[in-house]
Amino acid sequence: SSSVMNISEHLSCPLGFGHYNAVDICILETVVIVLLTFLIIAGNLTVIFVFHCAPLLHHYTTSYFIQTMAYADLFVGVSCLVPTLSLLHYSTGVHESLTCQVFGYIISVLKSVSMACLACISVDRYLAITKPLSYNQLVTPCRLRICISLIWIYSCLIFLPSFFGWGKPGYHGDIFEWCATSWLTNAYFTGFIVCLLYAPAAFVICFTYFHIFKICRQHTKEISDRRARFPNHEGDAAGETGHSPDRRYAMVLFRITSVFYVLWLPYIIYFLLESSRVLENPALSFLTTWLAISNSFCNCVIYSLSNSVFRLGLRRLSETICSSCVCSKDRDVRDPKPRKRANSCSI
């Protein structure tokens, strides 16, 4: 108990309940951050390995963006090791301002990459459904790589003004004391981020998915009408099976996008309220921040539960790992290692 008290004295607990039950609050905060860090790293490493081991997943051009999101979310988990280590060890206060700025900048850039990738995925599915004949000429691997490079460059540039004293990039739930007391949000910088990142991405996603599901609904209605008129027509069944995978895949991506915005909406609302000095609550700051960061793990869960090809790749990967472990054990049983003979001196 004395060691816990010593740790709590060196921790900066952002939940803001005063001195009441401070030790329990620090322990709860540490458990939440450590657990999320572990889940994010483990989940996204699994997604990356499955994508490399399942060739069928590469048939979709959106796999480029999904892998980019997986790498960005993995880096989110790795960067979360910074507050994890600051909570588990004594704080020295050396270069705390620089550490806080770099950590907030990296988190913001990585989540901007995820948001931009979701918008690009919706545009990709929109082109696949609205322009199926010219889709392969419009969306090429070279253009996809250029688009991903531009996403990273744009995300890095849009948050750079925060290093020159123009507001906070958007990281709340401050672990470091300098972040909470000396680095304040700015209403103009927040409006700048909303206008150039949050609002355009949300508009693109709403526009594309609205038209995607509208087209899919019209297509399904036409197929059902034709099948009612010509019940033995084989071409309609072929058209239905040809279009159904695109609709199912769009639904998977729509679920990922919906969960992303559900988890990030409280964070964005609090970001706006705090920047305009309407609301400032450390508890809400902590909860909304780490709720938004938890999306980096939720993407893995949604994709693994919704996509049958991903589940097949995950099962094959787990079977390969298990079979290799079993084979190594059988080899040790069949060919046991010879024991070293004791020499005369040891005898």
Interacting residues of 184 by C-beta distance below 8 A, sequence separation 6+: 167, 168
Please give the C-alpha separations between residue 130 and each of 127, 133, 242, in angstroms, as whole numbers.
Answer: 5, 9, 14
**Global confidence as pTM:** 0.74
User: Using one digit for the tens of pLDDT, what is the confidence trace for 157-191?
Assistant: 999 888 777 888 876 656 666 777 778 778 888 88
Q: What is the pLDDT of residue 128?
A: 84
Dump strand ranges (E) for the chain.
none
Q: What is the pLDDT of residue 333?
A: 56
Number of domains in the chain: 1
- For residue 9, tell me if it sits in a domain: no
- For residue 107, tell me if it sits in a domain: yes
Closest-CA residue to 268 (of 178, 170, 152) = 170
Q: What is the pLDDT of residue 155?
A: 92
Q: What three-state secondary structure class fits 170?
A: coil
Q: What is the CATH number of the domain that holds 129?
A: 1.20.1070.10
- For residue 176, tell me if it sits in a domain: yes
**What tokens appear for 333 in the block?**
């049983």
Q: What is the pLDDT of residue 77?
A: 86
Q: What is the pLDDT of residue 345?
A: 38
In one-letter notation, the amino acid at residue 166 is: W
Neighbour count for residue 342 (Cβ, 10 Å): 8
Q: What is the pLDDT of residue 212?
A: 83
Interacting residues of 10 by C-beta distance below 8 A, sequence separation 6+: 90, 91
- For residue 183, tell me if it sits in a domain: yes
Q: Integer distance in angstroms from the first to the last C-alpha of the chain?
A: 50
Domain that holds residue 306: 27-227+245-328
**Weakly modelled stretches of the chain, pLDDT under 50:** 1-12, 14-20, 90, 92, 234-243, 340-347
- For residue 103, tell me if it sits in a domain: yes
Helix (H) or strand (E) holding 254: helix 234-275
